[in-house]
Amino acid sequence: MALVYKIQRSDGLYSTGGSTPRWSKKGKLWPTKQALSAHLGIVDKGAYKADATLITYELVESVVDTRLITEVLAEKALSAAARKAEEAERREKWLKSQRKSLYDQLQKEFGLGPTE
């Protein structure tokens, strides 16, 4: 069982920590009582009004997925191969457009047309 801490204002915003804390939707999470105590030791007097509340959360560990590491590595390799293939295809299209552009330019410059 791990406990973590946040400081919340009455409007629902959370402290960002530091010596002059600001308030945000996410705020700062203090992972230990010692870290929270250190913060409270440096915070400016009056930074926390009477409407500030210390909230203690219990982190509950639960398994959300289990997979063989070989499956994960295979997916990663497949993704890398797919990215390389897409990159090669984009490069080939670009090279083809460059050759076409050069061909058109040479046609204009030398009056070359299709040969029969």
Residue 62 CA to residue 95 CA, distance in Å, equals: 51
- Write out the H or E segment, with its range, that includes residue 1: none
Over 60: is that where the pLDDT of 116 sits? no
Residue 41: pLDDT band (50, 70, 90) is very high
Over 90: is that where the pLDDT of 113 sits? no
Q: What is the structure's pLDDT at 56? A: 96
**Tens digits of per-residue pLDDT, 50-70?**
889 999 999 988 888 898 999
Sign of the alpha-carbon torsion through 14, 17, 22, 24: negative
HEC-encoded secondary structure of 43-91: CCCCCCCCCCEEEEEEECCCCCCCCCHHHHHHHHHHHHHHHHHHHHHHH
